Amino acid sequence: MHRLIGINSFGKGILTVDYLVVAGGGGAASGGGGAGGVRSTVGATGGGGSLESALTLSPSTSYSFSIGAGGTFGSHGTVQGTNGSNTTFSTITSTGGGGGGCGETGLFNGKTGGSGGGGGYNRTGTGGTGTTNQGLAGGNSTSGVTGGGGGGGAGVAGTNGQSSNIGGAGGNGISTNISGSTLSYGGGGGGGSLTVGAIAGGTGGGGTGGRGDTPNTAGTVNTGGGGGAANSADGKEGGSGIIILRYPSVFNISVSGGTSSTTTSGANKITTITAGSGTLSWS
């Protein structure tokens, strides 16, 4: 719970704001999409790092925000997945997840992002690296093995493609109760496979990896989950990001632009922003 320490010009105490800022997840090809970067002050933050500190903000001052979109998908053979877009709030920026690699020479490594994308099929593809305190690396693929490495989750790295032609699982995301319920965000997408479908995406919205006859799935919207990869089929897109803000209920928020909602939970208000960009302020 927040403590009201000192009095501002509104007579309401100091405005301290806890936050969860999740970027868009990376799109998949034959390697899973990396999760969008996660920065949080409640529960856990990305990359296994230490929790961040709540922001001390000023009433009547405008602060900008923008929700990152998920990356677009690529093909298993010739087109990498693209990175997700950054999500921003005030001074906080979470980095979009890395796109997954494909089979084409020079394109089989996963891309660097908030969490890294998985390596592409049939190559010695390296998973992309994550961003410090936001996410971890994607899994590698192995030459001669069509299973791509799973995209890196925000809390756990993606696993490597296996010698039995099975794609690597997406890394798990983090859990937080900043919204009043315990939910997960920032799961990596599962890698594509030759022999087995339904490769698990990471908890927190990571898409399921598949093969030609086993459908793969996109990252879940508003989780920053990476897209699920496929062999002999296209990958799937990453999930969009989200912003959740928790602050003392004596303050009232005004949001201009985007899509948002506000609820009250005990001594706090919780504002969730799920799409778009704009500005917000408190009174």
Query: In this predicted model, what pLDDT tens digit does every residue of 161-189 receive, in sequence order?
Result: 666 677 888 999 999 999 999 999 999 99
Confidence grade of residue 157 (pLDDT, cut at 50, 70, 90): low
66 or 12: whose pLDDT is higher?
66
The overall average pLDDT reported for the chain is 89
Q: Could you identify the residue written with the tokens 């799920």?
A: 274
Identity of the residue numbered 278:
G
State residue 166's pLDDT score.
78
pTM here is 0.93
State residue 11's pLDDT score.
60
| Token pair belonging to 166 | 């099975």
Mean pLDDT, range 151-168, rounded to an integer: 67
What would the pLDDT profile of 241-261 be if each residue is shown by its tens digit?
999 999 999 999 999 999 999
Instruction: Provide the strand spans (E) within the chain.
Output: 15-22, 38-40, 55-57, 63-66, 87-89, 92-94, 174-176, 183-185, 242-248, 253-256, 259-265, 268-275, 277-282
Check: CB of residue 115 under 8 Å from CB of residue 186.
yes
> Which residues have CB under 8 Å from 165's CB, separation 6+?
145, 146, 147, 193, 194, 195, 196
Closest CA to 83 of 124, 133, 138, 121: 138
How many other C-beta atoms lie within 10 A of the C-beta of residue 257?
A: 15
CA distances from 191 to 37, 79, 155, 163 (A): 19, 15, 17, 13
What would the pLDDT profile of 206-240 be if each residue is shown by its tens digit?
999 988 667 899 999 999 999 999 988 899 999 99
pLDDT exceeds 50 at position 153:
yes
State residue 6's pLDDT score.
41
In the chain, what percentage of residues exceed pLDDT 90? Answer: 69
State residue 148's pLDDT score.
63
| Token pair belonging to 273 | 């922003």
4 half-sphere exposure, CB direction, 13 A CA radius: 12
Confidence grade of residue 77 (pLDDT, cut at 50, 70, 90): confident
Instruction: Compute the distance between CA of residue 123 and CA of residue 137 in angstroms, rounded to an integer.
Output: 18
State residue 4's pLDDT score.
39
Instruction: Compute the distance between CA of residue 191 and CA of residue 93 in angstroms, rounded to an integer.
Output: 27
State residue 146's pLDDT score.
55
